[in-house]
Structure 1
Amino acid sequence: MKLVVLGLSLSSAWGNGHATTYRALLRAFAARGHEVLFLERDAPWYAAHRDLPQPDFCQLAFYGDIGLLTGWRREVAAADAVIVGSFTREGVAVSRWVQRIAGGVTAFYDIDTPVTLAKLAAGDDEYVSPEVIPGFKLYLSFTGGPALRTLEQEYGARRARALYCSVDAEAYRPLASAPCWDLSYLGTYSPDRQPALERLLIEPARKAPDLRFCVAGAQYPADIDWPANVQRLEHVRPADHPAFYAASRFTLNVTRADMIAVGWSPSVRLFEAAACGTPIISDAWDGLDALFAPGREILLAAGPEAVLAALRTTAEQDRQALGAAGRERILAAHTARHRAGELEALLRQAESDAADLAETNDTRLRASL
């Protein structure tokens, strides 16, 4: 299969989780014998922080503006499948161009489904619109559950199917390292995620000056009052993520408000931390218990006291068992190999359905003549 993907970024993981998601998925997809071309808008903020300018699993090409996409018209037209990703710049115009040019299956890959639904409800067509959604033959959503019905019934998506984020299990694995933090968090600043970070990490740090904490990620405002026992890291390269998690007794997963409201929205960081065997403390949301068993594979905490209880009272043997169980769940169902197989099956099914529809229409036309 020849696959073309137009997405936010493959070359730079700076300030976004899309790059690591695309890398894991497309590396595994290429390993299945497929050919992949990734077209990325040449944005200065990513150009200055490229940590994968020349991937070894696909062709990566940059375009300066939407007008220059015409240089890739032949590849898009000839591809078996073309995927447009969420938060692609001028995504509505890109989607219209792809739907007009592509000869194969067209799909939208939404790595931000709850954000997308909130934007659509508010009339915000930043990267996708109600007009272009029905034009895709397949809508791939990193959110499962009721959101899939909403996409089909309210916005006309032809086939809304869950394609959760995943993790490259070869790159993300446990490392033998002595933890230097009791609780860590890895994630770019988000205003609607910050209250949960305040409640589940910063407040516990203030209450427990004897414990050690770390927050890693870009774009945090300079006026945040970090406790003295919270170490700040501006950026951790994807290649260093396993070492970051290995340095943590526990790591924290906090979820954006839109994602909690919709549910069924696991972040890529959740899978990566679990694959590294690091025990996770998370906020709670609908659908989480379908992915991890609370109390056995993940700990849930509603407030600072629950976080501190987990940090102070969990026996070391139980802590290690929690991390091992989380990793087992990932290896059983959420690796990039699993997800690449799911993607191939979904694209093949859409391809088959399109062929069947074309044959049916041709038969009807012949009968009417």
Structure 2
Amino acid sequence: MTEPLGFSTRAIHAGPEADPAYNAVTPPIYATSTYKQDGVGGTRGGYEYSRSGNPTRTVLEETLASLEGGRHGLAFASGLAAEDAVLRAFTGPDGHAVVPHDAYGGTYRLFARVYDGWGLRCSPVDLTDLAAVEAAIVPEQTTVVWVETPTNPMLNVVDIAAVAGLAHAAGALLVVDNTFASPYLQQPLAQGADIVVHSTTKYIGGHSDVVGGALVVNDDTLAERLRFHQNAMGAVAGPFDAWLTLRGLRTLSVRMERHCDNAERVAEFLVEHPAVSEVIYPGLTSHPGYDLAARQMRRFGGMISFRVAGGEQQALDVCAKTKVIILGESLGGVESLIEHPARMTHASVAGTPLEVPSDLVRLSVGIEDADDLIADLAQALG
């Protein structure tokens, strides 16, 4: 075939077509820590120890790279382990990074409470304000500009290409956390990003049964440096975790279509509900980033945040009253999840510039019947 393969086809067929030993169509789980060598220094297939490389992990890494339009993929034990490898490889003592002012709480904790002890300074900035981004970048000191889009949990949409231009003009790398959009909805490398980060726990795995992370890059030199840190630090995806993640990845496109379908209907319902004071969803024309999201993304995603008129107590009540939608942290699984960010996923940023509103509720809209989700929210909102 001369025509490039489509996304769904690559999700299923990227990497080896079949197991070379028995022609199994599903990649096997190579549950081994080490490999018999043909001689001293003579590895078979390049594998010698599974921290450095494992055939199951290789298939996942090759598939992730293909779906993100990159040359190199690296799989980690968690999304934060992947982020840690980036910071370890490309920041240093007395360095500086620009981060979103509404970043995921775990990411901000890594920057502000782990790497600050190493001397790294970070500046939280509204990345939708390009003038503010440019002002926050410190020439010859800023090494990384970190983007989430859409952001967690405020669902702001950031212009990847524009921020890439600002970062590159100052000699900094642009890192894009693409977890909320997934490779199906958004391709940051094609828009100027240097490194794409994923918590593969979320949409890529898709079934709330595995924790993992990933990096995807195009540049060979960046990949070599990241792979060194992946091996040296050792927070790699195990073979069973890699296999589960790969299994989820194969159905990513069909799941994302259903997530988006359902989220659009739920958002429309919430907009009309008198107990809801604001609905934050990039697919609403009222969202300030709607036009950008329409250009930058295939569709608008499965995440919705909304604020309730009754303040924090009502937000807590709504989270407690849903019956189909599960109260829980994380996102991107086939089941719908509801949470109170201020007390749950973003508790670590309380009292910081990244503190989220106490009346905010975050929904990860699953792939159930949309009518059931709407009825559940209706009874919870009262």
TM range (shorter): 0.3 to 0.5
TM-score of the two chains, using structure 1 as the length reference: 0.35
TM-score of the two chains, using structure 2 as the length reference: 0.34
